[in-house]
Structure formats: C-alpha cells, structure tokens
Structure 1
Amino acid sequence: MDGRFTRRQLIKGGLAVAAVPLLPGIASAAPRSYRVDVPPLPWPAANDIVANTTIPTFPDRSFPITGYGAKNDGKTDNTAAIKKAIDACAAAGGGHVVVPAGSFLTGAVYLKSNVDLHLEKGAVLKFSGDASKFPNVLTRYEGIECINHSPMIYAYREKNIALTGSGTLDAAATSSWNKGSDRAYLDTLVAKGTPPEKRVVPGSGHTMRSTFVEPYACENVLIQGVTLKNSMFWQLHPTLCRNVTVDGVSTDPSTAHSNTDGCDPESCDHVVIANCSLGADDDNIAIKSGRDADGRRVNVPCQNLVVVNCVMNGNWGAITCGSEQTGGIRNVYAYKLTVKGDTKFALYVKSNTLRGGFSENINLDSVAGTFARNFAYVTSTYNSQTGSYVPSFGPFTISNCSSTKVAGKTFDVSGLSGAHVHGLTVVNSTFAGVSDTSNTLKYVDNAKFTNVTVNGKPI
C-alpha cells in the first residue's frame, strides 16, 4: 500500500470489481438493508448532515467464514479464513461476510470495499495475543501519522464498508502486546522531518497502542449494532473519512483500560453517531483533527457531525473537542444525550497555543444527567503547553439542557486575552444540584443567558 499523505485526498469513485460467480459453498443471503433511526433535529443544518451522510449498501450475498475454514473453538487461528471470505466477497462484487454464533480467534481483520462484516447473535471475534497477526499499517497515534500494528478492524482507502450485527468484539488477549504511550518518540521524528511512512513504531524500541476499529481515508462507512469489550486504547477511530455512521454500538466501560475513548472521529466530514451506549475510561466522544506540526502538515478539519440519542458513561467529556484539534473542528450538533456515572463534562473543549486549531459552531440541545465537574469546560491553556498557534473557540450554543448534579461550576469557559471565545449562548436550561453556583467566564464575548437557572436562581 502507498501510505504517504502529502496531500489529503479522500476516496473518489468506487472500486471496480469483476462480476464473478459465487464460489462453491457460498449461500445466498436474505436481503439485508441497513437503516438508522434519527429523529428530526432542532437545527436545519443538522438535518441536512444526516440526510447527506451516505449509508453504504451491499449486494444480497452471504459469505460465511465457516465456509472458508473458520472454526468456532476459540483456539484456532482464523485470520487466514476470515481474509479468504473477505477476498471472495470483494471479488464477487461485495456482500456480507458472516460470522455465525461462536467464538472465533483472529488477528487483524482488513475490510475491503463493498464488504459488510456481519456478526450474528452470539458471535464473538476474539483478537489474538500474537502481535505478528497485526501487520504494520498507516495509522494516526494521538494525532500524529505513523506506521504501527494494525487496529483490530482496519481499512485503508476503501469505499462502502460496514461492521454490523449483534455480536461482540473482544480485545482482551491483545493486552500482551497492545501497550505503550511513547508519543514523545513520534514528536522527535516529526521535528526531524521524518515522513510518516518512515515513522515505524514496531521494532523501534518504543511502543504505542493500536486503536480498536479504524477505517482510514475511507468513504461510506457503517458501524452498527456491535459491542466492543476489553479495549486497550481508543475504541472507534474513523480517520480522514467521509460519510461515517455509527449506530446502536455499545462500548463496555467495565472492561475498558485507560484512554479508551468511546468514539473519536478524526479529520472526518459528515459523521452521524446515533443510538449508542458509549462507556469509556476517558472521553465518550472526542472529536479530533491532528496534533501540532503534523496536524498542520495534514491540515484537515473534522466537520459536520451529529450525535443523537446516546447514553454517555465515560469519565471525561460527553462531547469533547480536542485536545488534538490542530486541523480544526466545526459544525457539531449533539441532541438528546443522557449522561451518567462519573462523566466530568457535558462539553469539554481543550487546546493551547502549541496545538492551535479551532472549535466553532458547537451546539448541544437536550443534554441531561450528572456531571462530576462542570457542565461546560472550555480551556485555551490545556496542559500548560505554549507555542505560537493561538486556538480559536466559539460560538457555542447550549439549549434545553439540565442536570441533577454538577460537582463544580456549571460553566467554566475561558479564552485568552488575545483570543476571546467568540460567543456563548445558553437558553431554556435548568441546572440543579450544582455545588459551586459561581461561573467562570473569562475573555468571552457575547455571552447570553436566557431563561437559565442554577439551583433555582436565574443567571
């Protein structure tokens, strides 16, 4: 594969495949079309994003992995068998690669264009503890492009791909190799001008974890219905993709290790995240667009995102922008979110003058629950890192929101003396159970509160 990205170019057009007869042992599937239930949203622009986010479709053909030698004993290495099924499906023009009920051990799974990997009820893909089963691929580690072990599910420059069904992905065994956080090593390579394809992590003496599910530079992606367990790092990480739909996915907070964000769209355009239960030992959803110098080299924003009807059960932000937001974030619409557990913030926006970037036109409506720190926290001095790239924040709009508990202040929003927050509007919101009824608004222009109460008293 050509892993170089000197110019960011997403997929144009489809993958040409020859029409071939179905191979022996391939059964014809009942028609399976995927739909995503999204209610009308209170913003016309958000409804447009949903309408214009293409959901992939697939021919009504089924390729059961057991027809290619896969065994559901939890011990046999099925990496080659699953690859054969995906290759056959792609060669036939696409369809559904079916994982039936049972426990299937595998290495990395690479999805090809026009292929839906479908896990039936009771199906479990158990990812291997053998690092050699996860080949080197182009990835982005905490906002920096590099070559690392493949995520458990990966695709690169593919079109019309899906991961669907009611089965489970279990990464517990990967703990033997999927470890490390030596991002500082990548920083040194970036400073030297080393291109991404030569920033090879395995064998360097440094280790950095691989994400769980990562379509990279793909178009028309659907992730629906599956459950992720025992993650070691970011769980869903669509990167440099267009038209991504995440629907009805569950991530298990009880098995998550540290830094296991639920869903992190990075430098993507048109993303819909709906009807999910996102548990994490970090942010529930963290919107990203690259880090520092490497983020400026790629320079692609994350934009046009809708998050709707989700339960948030991580321990940092329900909706987080950054900190890797060097390429910028714009047009985010979050609606009807239920926040529970130890989630610290409904809205968490973070950058600094080393990172730069922007978060603009960020909107929350009908977000309710308990918050272990603040309802909204916006900081321009994240981790006290400094440089010459001033972040730009705002406008932010919060409407019809509520709390039963806020352990700190409701609003802690700060810009910089030379870079004010460009607008904060809060309307029709009721915050109860607030421990500190003062609010911090520092270098914020055009702050407007209409029909907003904190512990029964109007702001």
Structure 2
Amino acid sequence: MDGRFTRRQLINGALAVAGAAAASPLLAPTTSAATRPYPVTVPTLPWPAANDIVARTKLPVFPDRTLSVLDYGAKGDGKTDNTAAIKKAIETANARGGGHVVVPKGTFVTGAVYLKSNVDLHLAAGAVLKFGSDASKFPNVLTRYEGIECVNRSPMIYAYKESNIGLTGLGTLDAATTSSWNKGKDREYLESLVADGIPPEKRIVLGSGYAMRSSFVEPYACDTVLIQGITLKNPQFWQLHPTLCRNVTIDGVRTDASTARSNTDACDPESCDHVVIVNSNLGAHDDNIALKAGRDADGRRIGEPCQNIVVADCVMNGNWGAITCGSEQTGGIRNVYAYRLTVTGETKYALYVKSNTLRGGFSENINLDSVSGTFVRSIVYVLPDYNGQTGSFVPRFGPFTVSNSSSTKCGQAAFNVRGLPNSHIRGLRVSDCRFDGVANTDNTLRYVDDLRFTRTTINGEPV
C-alpha cells in the first residue's frame, strides 16, 4: 500500500461552503483559522530525493473567509461581462487578508482575471469562466513568449509577484471565444529585439504589427501556488504555464485534448523551482508536460533553471512527449522525477529531450519509473541538434534513468539517444523494463557514456 504525506492532507475539512457561496460576500467570519481547499494525495515515490521535494514544496493556506462573485455584481448568464465584478471580489478578499472567492454554477463571461496574494479563486461544480472576444479586456502584462520576455496581452488567468494563491474547484475555464484575438506566432520579431539590446519592458507586442498568442494560466514570479481540480477547454496556446515561480502544486487538473489546437502544451513549468504535478489528466495537441528554462540570449540573461520537479499518477494524452525537456532549456533543467504515468492516444515519446548549440542549457538527473502505455515513436528520444540550429553553446545531457516501465506499442526504436562528439550523454540506465510491440529493435545510441540495460527486454529479448 502506498504511503501518504500527512502534511499534504486537508487541514480542518474541505471548503464545504463552496456550494452555498452565493448568499453573502462574507459567509464565514474573519477568524484566526486557515484552510487548504482540498487534500493533495501524493504517493510515496521510489526516490528519496523526490520525496524530499514533495515534503519541501509549500502549499498555500487561506484564511477561513468566503466571498461570492455574485455579491459584486457578477451574473452567470453567459452574456454579461463580469470582468469588473470578479476583479472587485478578488481585490476585496485580498484587502481583508485573503480567503476564497467563489464562482458558483453558471457561465460567467470575463476578460483576464488577475489573482492576488492570499486569495483562492474557487470554481464550484458547473461554473464556467468563459473568456471573451474583447481584446481590450486583456491588458498588457510582462510575460514570456516561447522563452523570451516581452509585454503582451494578459493570459486568461495571470498573477505577477503574488504569493499564496489558488485556482481550485470543479469548474471549467473556456478560452474558445478568445480565438478572435489570441493568435500569432511572430517570435522572430522578439528575437530581433533581443539582438538589438531592447529590454523586456520595451518589447511590446501590441501595436508592433506582430502578433503572439497568450498563455491560458500563467502565474509569473509567484511563490506558493495551487492549481487544483479545474478543467481547461479550447486553449489557443500553452495551457498551464507557471513561470519563474517557486512552490507550485498542480493536482487533479484536466486539460481537454479534444478541444486543443496546435501548439497547446498541457503544462509548461518554466524556470520554476519545486513543482509537484499529480493526479491529472493532461491532454494536448503537443507536449503533455514540457519543462522549459528560457530561450537563447534572453534565457542566458535570466539564467534560471527549471528544477526539483515531481510528476506522479497522471494520464498523458498529448501527441508529443509525456515528459519533454526543452527545447527552451537555456537556463537548464535538473532533478526531474516522473512516476506512474499512463500514456495513451498518439503520444510519441515517454521522454523527449531537445536542444541544440544555439540554445545550450542542460537536462540532467531526469528519472522515469513505472511509465506504461503506447508510444507512437520511442520510449526515449534525445535530440542534440533540434531544428538544425547551431551556435557556440553546447548543451549537456544526462544522466537519465528509466525503470519498471513498459510498452504495448512502440512505433520506432525504443531508444533514439544521441549526444554530441564534444558533449557525451552522461549516463543512460534502464532497469526492470519490458517493451513490447517495438517496430524496430535496433536502438540508436551514440556518444552515450555509462550505458546500462539491466533486466530489460524488447519484444521479449534481453537487451
């Protein structure tokens, strides 16, 4: 039986008042009590270091105070603009010291939502935040577009330098209507500004004649974040994009693959430290989880790695990597632990690592255990010359471990792992694995040091 971390259990019960939150802006009096919205269940992991990461990743704690957006003028009729009402409810909760701002059942049209410190935005079952077609309701904010800092239209849910924040409940975020303005992929324009030495606050997308999409949910430079229970539908770009954050927990989230457009990674922690992603069903039309750390010169300017990441008990239903490192990994990626992942649908790789000598960076100490399912291409694909881009920044890869894992289908070779002549992969260890349904039993393994296959078979034959 799996062990459980008692520190991650609910304190003083669940948010029982959520279903009745329409009655008053202050259903619960201000008290010294504090609650977490729901328990977060994390299994005991097979790596002591991963258990330490879970134990050290702080969860937010909110005052036992509940406000309803209805009491600030919101209407869940599917047509009223609720941007100001939701903002007022969140600001009031913040001003009173924090609490739970509840969106009850109904469809609430809104512009960008800005989360503030000590506030949990809680979507009750049947609640829908429907983000609108009026681009003016999504003001300019500092963000990162494909690893480059700039000023662009706000993500649907955004926070900047806030702490102790939550986005919870059984409701839905729907970005379908934003398709009228949330478009474009002119990253080359940003790259030209970086080359010209333009600082981030002056890399303003709006009015430039170029367009770049906005992420769906993006806490930026925040500390102690919980995203729990919600469903995301109709994304236009990256879905969950915590950036330069610490202490992020993502639990029980569903991203709907059936409504995803191209380039809609489910979850992209970027330059974050201590991230726990558990019990989630991650669908995408791209990577399931893509760990990132900035791009090229702008990534080197910031120089923040993405590190101390735990992923457990998730279903992966995107069409590229279950766990992907890069390609925006200039600041580096380290200490990643993925456990009990079920891979379904058209996912190509269990582990996909990609960089080049323009991007540089590193992916080191990446570990997979108990990963199973179908893979359109390979179990592990390490690509050191992604997109053929070249420069003078040699990436570093490894060590990588895969253990206790299996496949019922693998459309190419199980392992396609390549280092560089001047930067060998520093370890690939595979143990106690059974890979069946493998189309090509000739693995590609080049410039790999400390290569070990132990008690592992491919199509029934020992490696």
What band does the TM-score fall into relative to the shorter chain? over 0.9
Q: Partner of 1:373 in structure 2?
A: 377
Asked whether the equivalents of residues 280 and 315 of structure 2 are also in contact (C-alpha less than 8 Å), the reply is: yes
Q: Partner of 1:132 in structure 2?
A: 136
Cα distance between partner residues in 2 of 1:63 and 1:87? 11
Q: Partner of 1:76 in structure 2?
A: 80
Cα distance between partner residues in 1 of 2:25 and 2:286? 44
Cα distance between partner residues in 1 of 2:233 and 2:206? 24
Which amino acid letter does the alignment assign opposite residue 26 of structure 1?
L
Q: Partner of 1:26 in structure 2?
A: 26
Cα distance between partner residues in 2 of 1:27 and 1:405? 53
Consecutive unaligned residues in structure 2, runs of 5 or more: 1-23
Q: Partner of 1:397 in structure 2?
A: 401
Q: Partner of 1:227 in structure 2?
A: 231
What is the CA-CA distance between 1:25 and the residue it aligns to? Answer: 4.1
Q: Partner of 1:359 in structure 2?
A: 363
Q: Partner of 2:181 in structure 1?
A: 177
What is the CA-CA distance between 1:195 and the residue it aligns to? Answer: 0.1
Which amino acid letter does the alignment assign opposite residue 156 of structure 1?
Y
Cα distance between partner residues in 2 of 1:39 and 1:325? 28
Asked whether the equivalents of residues 34 and 57 of structure 1 are also in contact (C-alpha less than 8 Å), the reply is: no
How do 1:312-391 and structure 2 match up within 5 A?
312-391=316-395
Asked whether the equivalents of residues 35 and 61 of structure 2 are also in contact (C-alpha less than 8 Å), the reply is: no
How do 1:423-438 and structure 2 match up within 5 A?
423-438=427-442
Superposition RMSD in Å: 1.1
Cα distance between partner residues in 2 of 1:71 and 1:296? 46
Q: Indicate how the Cα distance of structure 1 residues 25 and 303 shifts in structure 2: closer, same or farther if over 3 A, else same.
A: closer
Match of 2:455 among 436, 451, 454: 451
Q: Partner of 1:19 in structure 2?
A: none
Q: Percent of aligned positions with the same letter in both sequences?
A: 72
What is the CA-CA distance between 1:28 and the residue it aligns to? Answer: 1.5
Cα distance between partner residues in 1 of 2:128 and 2:224? 25
How do 1:80-99 and structure 2 match up within 5 A?
80-99=84-103
Task: Find out whether 1:297 has 2:304 as its counterpart.
Answer: no
Cα distance between partner residues in 2 of 1:104 and 1:148? 24
Cα distance between partner residues in 2 of 1:348 and 1:136? 33
SS at match of 1:90: helix
Q: Partner of 2:45 in structure 1?
A: 41
Q: Partner of 2:412 in structure 1?
A: 408
Task: Find out whether 1:439 has 2:436 as its counterpart.
Answer: no
What is the CA-CA distance between 1:393 and the residue it aligns to? Answer: 0.1
Q: How many residues align?
A: 437
Q: Partner of 2:122 in structure 1?
A: 118
Cα distance between partner residues in 1 of 2:309 and 2:38? 20
Asked whether the equivalents of residues 174 and 235 of structure 2 are also in contact (C-alpha less than 8 Å), the reply is: yes
Asked whether the equivalents of residues 32 and 60 of structure 1 are also in contact (C-alpha less than 8 Å), the reply is: no
How do 1:143-292 and structure 2 match up within 5 A?
143-292=147-296
Which amino acid letter does the alignment assign opposite residue 278 of structure 1?
L
Asked whether the equivalents of residues 405 and 433 of structure 2 are also in contact (C-alpha less than 8 Å), the reply is: yes
Cα distance between partner residues in 1 of 2:150 and 2:200? 5
SS at match of 1:263: coil
Cα distance between partner residues in 1 of 2:292 and 2:36? 33
What is the CA-CA distance between 1:456 and the residue it aligns to? Answer: 0.3
Cα distance between partner residues in 2 of 1:141 and 1:131? 18
Asked whether the equivalents of residues 36 and 60 of structure 2 are also in contact (C-alpha less than 8 Å), the reply is: no
SS at match of 1:365: strand
Question: What TM-score do the two structures reach when normalised by structure 2?
Answer: 0.93
Which amino acid letter does the alignment assign opposite residue 176 of structure 1?
S
Question: What TM-score do the two structures reach when normalised by structure 1?
Answer: 0.94
